[in-house]
Structure 1
């Protein structure tokens, strides 16, 4: 097996495990029906920016499956897929912003917006279809689902952005592995 591939697989496993652990460090006081702010997205985005979107999607998929296995709330098989594996896997698409050039704070923010919006879309659809009965009588179901899911995803994205930009400034070389791999494969 190629050494780079093995190291990538090990990093995916470690980051998925770290994300699962970080999912237990959360703030829930504001939400009566679930949802919380945690650092669960940080390792998924790290993998996406460090190793590219495929590694990010794989890491997110594993994180979503772990979340499902250790405390998922299931009302329907499609809701299960939307709220767990898919919602976390799409975070990995943030790695699309990785390129041959150095990663910047602007690219991190752009990737975070893309990944978080895709995750919001998954939870939004699930909320409309399966959790609409929780909406107050005077609220349209779609507006309630959007407001509810954005109320914890936006703050979680902001906390993740602070953590990733801090890490970028403190150790920019941590993010360069993917860039070096791309440059090596392009020169072959």
Structure 2
């Protein structure tokens, strides 16, 4: 294994750990620990370091980082009333964030950074929405379709807020992050 591979693995691991810490801070901070009844927080800023992994190293490392975070998040979270929830709501939903690596190197451009975080949020929203329709349809309130409830009433509000807040944070730190990455020759 060469030094470049070790650097990528180490950086990915550190950023996954940062994502876990962000998630725990939000979970245990009064006022930020707002949560939907079956999981999901409007302050899910753990997406920021996961998108950073993908923007620095591309899709493979982004997916691996997301999958690892999703599994750790499942272990810490405890939500999941069905085995398929582990796959969809955790492993796939966070792993798919790695596709924001389509904009690899995008930290140099605020537009590419914004597109990357929007793509990550949108794809994660789709997976959570599908999970609601497939796994949690029985929890749909009377008079609502599982699709409408899952995609519009349940997942859209918190995922829109999460994506917006994550985008603001990532855009605010983008320039400083570029300086740090340039200095350490990580890009």
Give the shorter-chain TM-score range: 0.7 to 0.9
1:24 alignment partner in structure 2: 24
Could you say what the CA RMSD is over the residues aligned between the two structures, in angstroms?
A: 2.2
1:35 alignment partner in structure 2: 40
Q: Does 1:136 align with 2:141?
A: yes
Aligned counterparts of 1:29 and 1:10: Cα–Cα separation in 2:
32
2:85 alignment partner in structure 1: 79
Aligned counterparts of 1:163 and 1:104: Cα–Cα separation in 2:
15
Q: 1:128 to 1:68 in 2, by over 3 A?
A: same
Given that 1:50 and 1:174 are in contact with CA atoms closer than 8 Å, whether structure 2 keeps it comes out as no
**Which structure 1 segments of 5+ residues have no match?**
182-188
The SS at the match of 1:70 is helix
Q: Does 1:146 align with 2:151?
A: yes
Q: Does 1:57 align with 2:27?
A: no
Aligned length, in residue pairs: 179
**Which structure 2 segments of 5+ residues have no match?**
27-31
Q: TM-score, normalised to structure 2's length?
A: 0.86
Q: TM-score, normalised to structure 1's length?
A: 0.85
1:185 alignment partner in structure 2: none
